[in-house]
Amino acid sequence: MPSFRSDIVDIAYEVTGEGKPVLLIHGFASNQRVNWFDTGWVKALTEAGYRTITFDNRGHGESGKLYDVAAYPAPEMAEDARRLLDHLGIAKTLVMGYSMGARISAFLTVKHPDRIRAAVFSGLAENMIKGFGRSEPIAEALEAPSVDVVTDPEARVFRIFAEQTKGDLKALAACMRSERAKITRAELGQIQVPVLVVAGEVDDVAGRVEPLVEAIPGARGVVLPRRNHMNAVGDRQHKDEVIKFFNSIG
């Protein structure tokens, strides 16, 4: 897998297909392969005529691992994405992020509006504004000697998922403890590109779709019936709605 140097870390990436570019930013403890290839997103988008750009966020997958909590603010992770676009010579792109990737995508859209044609914020909705207050129990679960000693149900799910994706648990714990820079309603209100917000109906990590839609001018939302944070990712309706949205962009 090719990689490039983004400031202090090497970022692994992959480009698939031809056509208009779509930058895909994965969620916490996942990686580009698990989030976008294994769930069928790359196949669906390339068959729809798009070129996908996927990468492993710092601390994840095949990208460099950092163990300093200060190395993982979302705005800086958004700069990794911007530097990847620079590295590939892509002036402007569609972007989609899931969960943590949605937060990164939002910072990318706010800070570099000239680089984004349209954005999909998926798997993180109202809680992008309110914040997610469960960081420490999840970090402690990642650092636990074994998943068997993790009693917090939600934290246990993250630990199991991190093991399934063969994540570096120490790097992921540092990432989870990083400063949770919030995007303000004022910043969201400055977004001028088309935005689609998507989340599962029973996704407590994402929160409700409507508050984030209301904060972004012209945004629209999709609620995936009966889907939670884990099974919303590869949902067929999810893919259909996003491709329809991308196809509507001139």
209-243 pLDDT tens trace: 999 999 999 999 999 999 999 999 999 999 999 99
Helices and strands of the chain, counted as H and E runs: 11, 8
> At which residue do the structure tokens 């000239």 appear?
114
pLDDT of residue 179: 77
Residue 180: the pLDDT is: 74
Report residues of the chain scoring pLDDT below 50.
none
pTM for the whole structure? 0.97
The CATH code for residues 3-130+182-247 is 3.40.50.1820
* pLDDT score for 93: 98
Domains of the chain by residue range: 3-130+182-247
| Res 131: pLDDT | 83
Q: In sequence order, what E strands does 210-249 have?
A: 220-224
Quick check: 93 and 115 in contact, CB under 8 A? yes
Task: Determine the pLDDT at residue 106.
Answer: 98
- Tokens describing residue 237: 């309706």
Residues 101 and 127: beta-carbon distance below 8 Å: no
pLDDT in tens, 188-210: 999 999 999 999 999 999 999 99
Of the CA atoms within 13 Å of residue 195, those in its CB half-sphere come to 28
